[in-house]
Every structure is written in C-alpha cells, then in structure tokens.
Chains A and B, each alone.
Chain A
C-alpha cells in the first residue's frame, strides 16, 4: 500500500514568488491535512480538506491556500513568499471519519525562500 506522496521534495524560491506543493494521500483516504514545521515554531496546523471542502483552518495569513480534488489529491499554494515561509511542509492523510483520526504523514516538501 503506497504511502502519502509529496512533491516536490525540495525547492528553492525567492521572495515575492509563489509556490504550489502537491500531496497524494493513501488510496481510500478522504481527508488531507497540511502542517508547517519550522525550528522556531515547531509543527503548526495549516488546514484540512475532506471531500474537496476545507473543514478546518489554522492561524495563517491568506497567502496560504489549498484545495482538494475529486480524487482526494491536494495542493497547497503560498503566494508572495517571505523569508519566514522557509519550512518543511508536511501533508497527512486519514480516513476522515469519526474514528481515531490517525494521520499518516508524507516525507514533506522542504521550501527554502531566498
């Protein structure tokens, strides 16, 4: 059973640019969540999508957005990049039901903003 796949694994951007990250969840999982991991702030929740609808949102500015497609794949976009957006972005998927909400994480996309 394939795990959660994130692409690209590494990328470098400059301030002011935008970036799109992709996440393919485990087959059959309908919920996709995104987290930002930085040395200073640790792991912070960005948002969660379930059946193409944003179900939950963290405290990030509007420059951070996401979407989910009918096949459950998800993308997140960050516009007008800032130096502080440099981070490891982790995607996680789960069955999305009322079970034990066990998240399976991908290896992450490491974004460096210069």
Chain B
C-alpha cells in the first residue's frame, strides 16, 4: 500500500535559518504529492503541491520538488520566520482526482527569535 515517511521531529531552528524537512514515499503508479501545514488550533492548510515528476511546488517561500527517482518530496525554505512555527505534513494521493490522502506523521517546527 501507499506510505509516506517524514523526518522525525520536533525541529527547532533560529529565525532566518535554512529549513529542510525530508519526505519519502511509497506508491504505485504516479501519485500527486502535497505539503500541508497545521497551525495551533486550526485545521490543515495546503502549502504546496506537485502532480508529476520534476514538478516544483512553491508557496510563501517554501519549495519542494517531486523526485521520482528517489521517491522524495523534501520541503525547503531559505530563511524561516517565527510565524512558520507549525506542524508540517507530507501527503500523497495515488492518482489525480483521488480525494483519499495518505499522510506522513507530521514534523513539528519551532522557530526561535
């Protein structure tokens, strides 16, 4: 079956540091890949997505590239801010249009001033 593996948290960084959160997946076929973010007390928000190999998703300074050869979708940001503190989830959908998402366990990120 499908699975998503994220790096273990929590992750604590200083403001303006470089961020990488690793995500690898197992799926048959050609999945769509997503990063969702959950702020305290809120539901999940879509951060970015990629629907085919070599696509790069980007939003709010965050980027992730769909690497089929390494089955990875690592999240990066060049300079984090305190407001980026949240839990980040990597997810996949096993085909375009399928609303069933398989999520990773989430990575809690804390940015200190």
Contact = CB atoms under 8 A, between A and B. Distances in A.
B46 A33 contact: no
B103 to A, nearest CB: 4
B41 interface: yes
Q: Give the bracket for the number of chain B residues in contact with chain A.
A: 20 to 34
Interface string B78-113: 000000000001010100111111111110000000
Interface residues of A, number: 29
A107 B42 contact: yes
A81 B100 CA distance: 24
B43 interface: yes
A103 B49 contact: no
A97 B100 CA distance: 13
Contacts, number: 66
A56 B101 CA distance: 11
A43 B96 contact: no
Interface of B: 32, 36, 41-46, 49, 51, 89, 91, 93, 96-106
Contact of A56 (B89, B100, B102, B105): B100
A42 B100 contact: no
A36 B103 CA distance: 11
A47 B15 CA distance: 39
A94 B32 CA distance: 15
A100 interface: yes
A21 interface: no
B43 to A, nearest CB: 4
Contacts of B32: 100-101
